[in-house]
Amino acid sequence: MDSRLVTTITPNPAIDKTYWIPGFTKGINNRVNRLRIDPGGKAINIARILGGFGIRVKALGFFGGNSGKELLKMLESDNLIIEPIFVQGETRTNIKIIDWKLEDETEINEPGPFVTEKEKNFMRQKIDHYAQKSEFLVFAGSLPEGCQAEYYGELILLAKKYGCRSILDTSEAALKESLRFSPYMIKPNHHELSEIWGREISTETTAAIVAEEFRQAYKIEVIVVSLGGKGAVLACKEGTFHAIPPEIKPKNTVGAGDSLVAGIIYGLMSGYPLAESLRFGVALGTLTVTELGTSVLSPDVKKVSNFMKSVVIRRLD
């Protein structure tokens, strides 16, 4: 196993188009003030960030049609090492509309292609191969049509065969059905965890209590709950912690959760304790929302490390 290799898996990648439209109004002709096109998909964002930090990354995913080819070109231009599995359908395009006058954001996400059993088996074979070589396997984002809710769980079991630590960042049924496979770490936001818990999580204290309950019930070593502008909560065997970022005015929130996960992984690979890895992740996520775009393109370790001083870690238990 290569302790410096991370393999990311994006079953439903996308091309992200961000439109800035001041005074966006439905039902009329709106003019775009600014347009940005980025590679999309949670695990792809994580791979790009880690690659920018100098971590060796392999990125796996399902790619299809002309959109898939366009996305691959974008990623290759970023020097990201991709191992695509080509599918018959068309890679999706996601649209985000930002109206800075109203401080409002609207997202329109396509479902993605239908993935066949044969194509899913190709992915299983690649996971079996890279789980033997990687320190972490990162499964993130939504599942495309054709992938049952427990598909992530099946892949997590493959990673476990070789002692590879799996990290899961997804939502809804894909998250709920994967818990029983006990990944090393999950990173829901408080809304996603609330859905599974059945009640609203409105405070960091409640988030910590629920995260610890889930950690013990499903034998998950690390649970990180992102809280938006309130930072994130960590539950692990050492205790529960709340990382509190400084107050900032966000320019864009897409990719903040991906940066949080990437920062935690970088911290762990750099030998940081879990709480300090959380601090690094929250610092990186906070810096991300000050950027225009949907991911950090050229992350600066020194800048993030300096910004860590502004993130407060509070023990909750």
Write down the number of H helices and E strands in the chain: 10, 14
Distance CA 116, CA 147 (A): 8
Q: d(Cα 195, Cα 150) in Å, to the nearest integer?
A: 17
Ranges of beta strands (E only) in 151-274 are: 165-169, 185-186, 222-226, 232-236, 239-244
Angle, helix 117-130 to helix 151-161, in steps of 10 degrees: 30
Cross-sheet strand order for the sheet of 34-40: 34-40, 14-20, 92-99, 104-109
In the block, residue with structure tokens 């691959």: 72
21, 33 Cβ separation under 8 angstroms: yes
Q: Which residues are catalytic?
A: 258
Which whole-number Å values give the CA distances from 7 to 249, 253, 270, 281, in the listed order?
Answer: 33, 25, 17, 18
Residues 6+ away with beta carbon under 8 Å from 173: 149
